[in-house]
């Protein structure tokens, strides 16, 4: 029985578990994931008809949540949001503080990371066919929060909020979900080849 418990404890649940260590590892992973999202936020394209820019953030959130698991992924997005509110200029276009119309998406990042991490802990990130639905589900909860916030902020109805805060981003986020859905199973395969994962 002790052998079975030992083997189970060593089996990685998510990709982050392949990195040895405990608290220091988790702190570095959480900080690194927050930094990744902050860096990808600077890939920013503004559209004339919506206050929400197209950014690379979503890809970072999907990767962070799935690779870290729901607790560390959510913590990373909380660090990203709180540090940005406190003045770290790593929101889109090097902004910080309360970013108004876009703030609901930052809150949605935590929901996205939590859901993607939860699904990854149930092995949804091991194949492309299971990763795609996990990434789409994560984006769905992120957009639910972002669009709801945007509608309330602009005082517009659901249809208008969707037109401003969801529809323009569907094609780009489909690509980001596809990239993440291929990257995670690919990382697991590489880890299996060098004996790090089972």
| Rounded-to-10 torsion of CA 56, 158, 161, 74 | -30
Residue 111 located in a structural domain: yes
pLDDT tens per residue across span 65-103 = 999 999 999 999 999 999 999 999 999 999 999 999 999
DSSP 8-state code for residue 55: E
> Whose structure tokens read 């935590």?
110
CATH of the domain at 91: 1.10.1760.20
Domain that holds residue 177: 21-189
The reply to whether 95 falls in a domain is yes
In a domain, 10, yes or no: no
Q: What's the domain count of the chain?
A: 1
- Name the band, by pLDDT with cuts 50, 70 and 90, for residue 2: very low
Q: Is residue 3 part of a domain?
A: no
Q: CA-to-CA distance for 110 and 118, rounded, in angstroms?
A: 12
Residue 8 lies in a domain: no
Q: Are 118 and 70 in contact (CB under 8 A)?
A: yes
Residue 14 placed within a domain: no
Of the candidates 102, 97, 94, 73, the one whose C-alpha atom is nearest the C-alpha of residue 84 is: 97
* Predicted pLDDT of residue 56: 93
Q: Is residue 2 part of a domain?
A: no
How much is the pTM?
0.88
Identify the bridge partners of residue 95 per DSSP, sorted by sequence position.
91
Asked if residue 116 belongs to a domain, the reply is: yes
């Amino acid at each position: 029985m002790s052998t079975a418990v030992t083997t189970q404890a060593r089996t990685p649940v998510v990709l982050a578990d392949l990195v040895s260590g405990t608290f220091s590892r988790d702190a570095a992973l959480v900080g690194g994931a927050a930094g990744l999202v902050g860096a990808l936020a600077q890939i920013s394209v503004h559209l004339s008809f919506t206050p929400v820019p197209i950014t690379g953030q979503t890809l970072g959130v999907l990767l962070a949540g799935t690779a870290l698991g729901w607790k560390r992924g959510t913590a990373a997005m909380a660090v990203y949001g709180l540090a940005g509110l406190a003045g770290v200029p790593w929101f889109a276009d090097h902004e910080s503080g309360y970013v108004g119309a876009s703030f609901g998406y930052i809150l949605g990042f935590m929901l996205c990371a939590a859901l993607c991490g939860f699904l990854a802990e149930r092995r949804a990130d091991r194949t492309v066919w299971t990763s795609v639905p996990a990434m789409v589900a994560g984006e769905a909860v992120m957009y639910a929060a972002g669009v709801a916030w945007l509608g309330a902020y602009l005082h517009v109805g659901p249809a208008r909020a969707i037109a401003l805060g969801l529809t323009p981003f569907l094609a780009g986020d489909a690509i980001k979900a596809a990239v993440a859905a291929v990257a995670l199973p690919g990382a697991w395969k590489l880890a299996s080849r060098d004996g790090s994962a089972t």
